[in-house]
Amino acid sequence: MGTWKNSRLMTFDSQNLHVKTHFNDQLVVLLRERANFYNNIATEMIPCQKPMLLNDAVAFEKVLMNPKDSQGKDITWRNAAALEGYVRRLNDVADRLAGKNRSSR
């Protein structure tokens, strides 16, 4: 995840009057991809196979909709370790669901 995690979220450059963000663009892209996956997975499943994928779909939705750390606190950009763990969990459940969906075709 890199050096961005210890930096401020944004800084203001008073010389050119621009605000610069300091978050990881790759992380934002990944989170957008996972949101898009969630929004479209139902249409990618063969209807008769949806019951076989239900447990994995529920597990994915549970992680996606509940970005909490190990103590139950909301994950923010400031807590890089918790954010990293959340992204790892999200990828694991999304990859498992996508893999089972592909193999069931």
pLDDT in tens, the chain (105 residues): 455 555 555 567 788 877 776 667 788 888 889 989 999 998 999 999 999 999 999 999 999 888 888 898 888 777 878 888 898 999 999 999 999 999 987
What torsion, rounded to 10 degrees, do the Cα atoms 92, 97, 98, 103 define? 120
Cα(21)–Cα(15) distance, integer angstroms: 16
pTM: 0.74
